[in-house]
């Protein structure tokens, strides 16, 4: 797809994110099946419910722009998912597995945050308030999940890393 205009760039980024959300949905499902941490599983399952909403919101954005929802292969999402899968295959203990999953989820969320912030910049320049609100809804939930993994108040990744360190001592 040629990207020569503002509109084409925006639509490309939208299709890219629409593809990424589908890939992350599957990856979060897989990670939730592989963790033995109830906390991590709850976070992944709750976020997968939100992710379904993200996909629906992106479909609304396409329609508001008079476009059919279309996935554009997101190479970054492919890479993040493959890296997570390979590292999970190599994880030798449940504690390491949980830490690997927390790390992978944190990276996914930060990629999504950067992507939604970029889309919002475009939507604001287009002065499309409905689109801005839909994208901000998704962004807030990605930020909330990123904070649960690496920031305040829960810091799940830190907890998983500490448990992996403790397991080695015992």
Residues found near Fe ion in the complex (CB under 5 A): 21, 51, 54, 112, 142
Q: Which is nearer to Fe ion, 143 or 163 (CB)?
A: 143
Least separation in angstroms between residue 32's CB and Fe ion is 13
Distance CA 108, CA 103 (A): 9
Q: How far does CA 144 lie from the centroid of its chain?
A: 11
Q: At 156, list the tokens.
A: 């799940």
Q: Which is nearer to Fe ion, 80 or 97 (CB)?
A: 80
Least separation in angstroms between residue 168's CB and Fe ion is 30
Least separation in angstroms between residue 144's CB and Fe ion is 9
Distance CA 93, CA 3 (A): 46
Which DSSP string corresponds to 71-95? ----HHHHHHHHHHHHHHHH--SHH
Give residue number: closest CB to Fe ion: 54
The answer to whether 18 touches 55, Cβ cutoff 8 Å, is yes
Least separation in angstroms between residue 21's CB and Fe ion is 5
Q: Which is nearer to Fe ion, 12 or 110 (CB)?
A: 110
Q: Which is nearer to Fe ion, 147 or 163 (CB)?
A: 147
Q: At 95, list the tokens.
A: 């504690």
């Amino acid at each position: 797809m040629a990207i020569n205009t503002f509109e084409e760039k925006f639509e490309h980024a939208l299709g890219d994110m629409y593809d990424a959300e589908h890939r992350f949905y599957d990856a979060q499902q897989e990670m939730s099946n592989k963790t033995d941490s109830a906390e991590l599983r709850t976070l992944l399952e709750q976020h997968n419910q939100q992710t379904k909403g993200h996909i629906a919101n992106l479909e609304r954005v396409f329609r508001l722009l008079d476009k059919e929802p279309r996935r554009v292969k997101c190479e970054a999402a492919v890479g993040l998912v493959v890296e997570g899968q390979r590292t999970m295959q190599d994880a030798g203990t449940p504690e390491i597995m949980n830490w690997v999953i927390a790390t992978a989820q944190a990276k996914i969320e930060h990629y999504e945050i950067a992507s939604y912030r970029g889309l919002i910049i475009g939507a604001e320049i287009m002065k499309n308030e409905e689109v801005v609100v839909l994208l901000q809804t998704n962004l807030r939930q990605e930020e909330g999940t990123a904070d649960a993994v690496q920031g305040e108040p829960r810091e799940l990744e830190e907890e998983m890393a500490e448990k992996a360190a403790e397991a080695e001592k015992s």
